[in-house]
Structure 1
Amino acid sequence: MAHRVRSGTNKSVDTLNGIPRKESTAARTTYSKNSDNESIYESIVNFLASAYNSETQEFLGRTALGWALILSFYIVFYMSLALIYSGMWFLWREVILNADSPKYSGPEDGLAWSPGVSHVPIIDPDRKSTLIRFSRSNDTQTEELANFMYDNFLKFYEPDYWTSANGNFIDCTSGRTDDDIEKVCEFKLDDIRPCTLEDGYGWGDGQPCIILKLNKVNNWWPENYNESEVPDEIKDVWQKNVITLNCYGSDPVSRESIGAIEYYPMQGWSFDYYPFTGQQGYKSPLVAVQFMELPHRMAVFITCKAYTKNMVYHASYGLGMTQFEIISD
């Protein structure tokens, strides 16, 4: 029979085999957890003891005043960063990218102190080419051209886009009747008939309408020519208080082949729409130029030039003029 005896070392010994009995796993686990808890507690106590110096009343090496000063510094520092960022954002959003104010606004901008002339459509999405090529017999293409002009530009002249609740629009059909320059003359798409979406802007008939406008320059006032100063090329069509528009072939061959040209609603832009001062809802007036007799399968190079006494011309920058080419297949 086997007998169990207690050894002198307090360990249970199997007298049959002479092998010490193993302690239970639960006992060892409990002991280990207690040791870990004591170790964590001691670590916390040691950290607090080292973090706070009761003699100098410092926490992590700084007094309460020191912590208050450094906290105040970072509060002021990050508030300053926030104010700088907010100021730059406001400057970018409200001044540089302000939809109601142009980028150039005075003689300090050099050549920009004169409006450029823009035309629609520009087919090239990268705006690197001014060539307009179309086939009058291709109904799909001519319809796409008409829709392109309307969707990307002309629809913004619909009343839903320019009607203002503050009543700053006036009817200038018979001339401006209000001297308040903050009042904006209405421009309606009906004014450029027969160049309308319903008529496909003439593309399907081979008589395309090109829409022209003067770019906005803040506080630019057009000036009248004296009668003796009117350029020869517009003497027959020049009117007082109108920025005269003249389109012609850019080279001798184009001048011979360009054919008849019609302008709607007039051959230029009335002074009544100027100056632009950032008025709410302002839309630049338009002139529709319709080419009635374009030749087939021949490139026609066209220049359209605006005339007034204080107009500056620069072909590369499009100041005072615009140039494009049309090929009708």
Structure 2
Amino acid sequence: MHDEAYYERRVPIRDLGPWKNFLRFLWDRERHTVFDRTLKQWGQLGLFYSCFYGLLFTLFGLHMRIGFKNIPKDRPYMEHPSPGKSITGSRILFHQPLNRDSHSGHPGLGFVPNIHAYDSLAPVIWINKNNPQSRPQRYIDTINNFFNDYRNSYVYNYKCDSKKKPCFFDINSLGKCSTSPYGYSEPYQPCVYIKFNKRFGWTPIYYNTTSELPEYMPLKLKSVIKSTPQAHIWISCSGVTNFDNQHMGNIDYLPLGGFSVKYFPFTGHPNYLSPTVALLFNNITGVTGLFYLLFFSGLIVLFSICMVGLMATIRKDKPTWTLDQSLIGSSPGLGFRPISDNPRQLALIFYKNNNETQIKTWTRRLDDYLEHYRNRTMLPNRQRCDYKFPKPKEGNVCAVDLDTDFGICSPSNQYGFNNSSPCVFIKLNKIFDWVPEYYQLSELPSDMPKDLVDHIKSYGNSSELNTVWVSCQGEEAEDREFLGPIKYFPEIRGFPGYYYPYKNIDGYLSPLVAVNFKRPTRNKIINVECRAWAKNIIFHQRQKIGMIHFELRIDD
């Protein structure tokens, strides 16, 4: 059957533009819709969700009614699985009891003051009056809050002869640990309070004077149990490691080293308070403080001896290890400037030829790098050198003259960036005492670029051959085509030998070669590689040894 109404609904609605489309969405006169639905559709949708959520609320209400009807008010709905099997002995390390019968029905232990400080995963009791996080008052306030309920004794059964009221626990029985500042003042003898977690209906099976005590129980605790007729759940505390045991000092247990069984079982009384044992650390501060004083004093003495020995072997005028004996070896690497501030694009030089801001950014980077080269007053001991007089005076170094030797690549010409013919400065990294081995005319390698070979041969057998030569070209054939003509400054096209060796004399600056890319193709990323040529410079293209790689792009 052909349904005309169905096909009318399939016809796309005419586009009226963003604003009118929105108004039509709110109210469409032609289709009589509000928010793209008719009143009938909104009614059907509202009826569906009313029924749906009404059913959900009804089911939820039935579940809650059944649940509350079956939950007793005076005891937990679920209890531990073995009420008859109970703890008979316990050791603590402030966080975990070790039980005679260890399973899920046993209660745990807690302690006060339990403060997480310094973002540690475990609680730390660290007393330092000068630190806001570990000042003593913070621990005192925590203990006061803990004792507030214990001091409200009017609802308690003092004689423990009634099941209607919980047994009274007298905090005065804790002796020194019952009153502020609880040992958190000088001389520091801090108190830590161990309490039993509540477990409904749990009754302890305790050790007594006739019980067979476990082998792992401390000897001191065994003697206490054998001499104490009263029934208790006993505890013992020790350091986690031998180091802790040696420096935690003596511990007094107040009022006794355990919890009296008269406080058990817990029957759900709202005013029930767990019994508490106070641990009084008598001399932990003095022993630990003395240990750390001696420990760190010894470290400082050993460190000082090592530093004196190290400084005695280090010379200020030269490295202890040089050339092949050193980590950097005897083959210098290459560097270039300018480089980007973006760590992900250190090798990319990119700007638009009509963007003055970008051009100034690159020229400013070169200005900053070349500041020492330009300002002759910043570095001493510099003198003009050439191939005829290659050796400077004793204590002097050969100067690098940017104004006379670098043509268009000088600061006054904005290094060619404003004319879309940028200059990139190449330098040889400094290695103490390194002297280049120069190529003679008969020794030129076969892989040396032809234009560089012709350039070297033009000098004949003159002293200019004592140069570390530099060549730059595109990395691939396409890059070489896009790169265009190149000019080098100074015209010698390399690093003159009279700058070497580097002797760490004040005022020394590495010689520079400025590479001027005269007409690089626009809107293309051009991969450029530059290489230094000397017989004792190792070259490896894949590992970028003896060469540098950078990318150049100039957009319209």
Q: Give TM-score scaled by structure 1 length.
A: 0.66
Provide the rounded CA distance (Å) in 1 between the counterparts of 2:436 and 2:533: 9
Letter in 1 for 2:481: E
Secondary structure at 1:248 match in 2: strand
Task: Name 1:55's counterpart in structure 2.
Answer: none
Task: Name 1:243's counterpart in structure 2.
Answer: 468
Q: Alpha carbons of 1:198 and 1:226: their partners in 2 closer, same or farther (altered >3 Å)?
A: closer
Q: 1:281 aligns with which of 507, 517, 536?
A: 507
Q: Alpha carbons of 1:89 and 1:161: their partners in 2 closer, same or farther (altered >3 Å)?
A: farther
Q: Alpha carbons of 1:284 and 1:207: their partners in 2 closer, same or farther (altered >3 Å)?
A: same
Provide the rounded CA distance (Å) in 2 between the counterparts of 1:206 and 1:109: 42
Give the drift of 1:147: 0.7
Task: Name 2:481's counterpart in structure 1.
Answer: 256
Q: 1:158 aligns with which of 360, 369, 374?
A: 374
Q: 1:205 aligns with which of 419, 430, 444?
A: 419
Give the drift of 1:199: 1.8
Secondary structure at 2:363 match in 1: helix
Q: Alpha carbons of 1:128 and 1:218: their partners in 2 closer, same or farther (altered >3 Å)?
A: farther
Give the drift of 1:163: 3.2
Q: Which has the larger radius of gyration?
A: 2
Task: Name 2:92's counterpart in structure 1.
Answer: none
Give the drift of 1:209: 0.5
Matched, 1:84 2:305: yes
Provide the rounded CA distance (Å) in 2 between the counterparts of 1:245 and 1:306: 5
Task: Name 2:433's counterpart in structure 1.
Answer: 219
Matched, 1:122 2:345: no
Secondary structure at 1:255 match in 2: helix
Once the two structures are superposed, what CA deviation does each residue of 1:24-54 show, in whole Å capped at 9, x if it has no partner?
xxxxxxxxxxxxxxxxxxxxxxxxxxxxxxx
Structure whose residues are more often strand by fraction: 1
Give the drift of 1:124: 4.2
Counterparts in 2 of 1:1-329, with a 5 A limit? 77=298, 80-81=301-302, 83-84=304-305, 86-87=307-308, 105-109=322-326, 112-126=329-343, 129-151=346-368, 153-160=369-376, 162-164=378-380, 168-173=381-386, 175-178=388-391, 182-190=395-403, 191-231=405-445, 232-233=448-449, 234-238=452-456, 239-266=464-491, 267-315=493-541, 318-329=544-555
Secondary structure at 1:301 match in 2: strand
Give the drift of 1:258: 1.1
Once the two structures are superposed, what CA deviation does each residue of 1:163-198 show, in whole Å capped at 9, x if it has no partner?
32xxx4321145435366743101122122321223
Provide the rounded CA distance (Å) in 2 between the counterparts of 1:284 and 1:188: 12
Give the drift of 1:158: 2.5
Provide the rounded CA distance (Å) in 1 between the counterparts of 2:402 and 2:504: 22
Secondary structure at 1:245 match in 2: strand
1:116–1:317 contact (8 Å) kept in structure 2: no
**How many pairs align?**
249
Provide the rounded CA distance (Å) in 1 between the counterparts of 2:312 and 2:515: 39
Provide the rounded CA distance (Å) in 2 between the counterparts of 1:158 and 1:212: 17
Give the drift of 1:294: 0.5
Give the drift of 1:108: 2.4
Secondary structure at 2:325 match in 1: helix
Provide the rounded CA distance (Å) in 2 between the counterparts of 1:248 and 1:134: 20
1:104–1:112 contact (8 Å) kept in structure 2: no
Secondary structure at 1:303 match in 2: strand
Letter in 1 for 2:550: F
Provide the rounded CA distance (Å) in 2 between the counterparts of 1:79 and 1:250: 55
1:102–1:216 contact (8 Å) kept in structure 2: no
Secondary structure at 1:194 match in 2: helix
Identical counterparts, % of pairs = 30
1:298–1:327 contact (8 Å) kept in structure 2: yes
2:385–2:392 contact (8 Å) kept in structure 1: no
Task: Name 2:33's counterpart in structure 1.
Answer: none
Give the drift of 1:161: 5.7
Once superposed, what is the RMSD of the aligned Cα atoms? 3.2
Give the drift of 1:127: 6.3
**Higher RCO (CA < 8 A, seq sep 6+):** 1
Letter in 2 for 1:270: P
Once the two structures are superposed, what CA deviation does each residue of 1:228-268 show, in whole Å capped at 9, x if it has no partner?
22124231122510111100111010112211111111311
Once the two structures are superposed, what CA deviation does each residue of 1:68-103 show, in whole Å capped at 9, x if it has no partner?
xxxxx99x95773463375489589x77xx8x8689
Query: Which consecutive unaligned segments of at least 5 residues does structure 1 have?
Result: 1-72
1:181–1:275 contact (8 Å) kept in structure 2: no
Secondary structure at 1:112 match in 2: coil
Secondary structure at 1:145 match in 2: helix
1:170–1:185 contact (8 Å) kept in structure 2: yes
Q: Alpha carbons of 1:286 and 1:104: their partners in 2 closer, same or farther (altered >3 Å)?
A: farther
Secondary structure at 1:304 match in 2: strand
1:104–1:218 contact (8 Å) kept in structure 2: no
Moved over 2 A (4+): 76-92, 100-105, 108-112, 124-129, 158-163, 173-183, 314-319
1:132–1:325 contact (8 Å) kept in structure 2: yes
2:390–2:498 contact (8 Å) kept in structure 1: no
Q: Alpha carbons of 1:83 and 1:317: their partners in 2 closer, same or farther (altered >3 Å)?
A: farther
Give the drift of 1:304: 0.6
Secondary structure at 1:217 match in 2: coil
Letter in 1 for 2:527: F
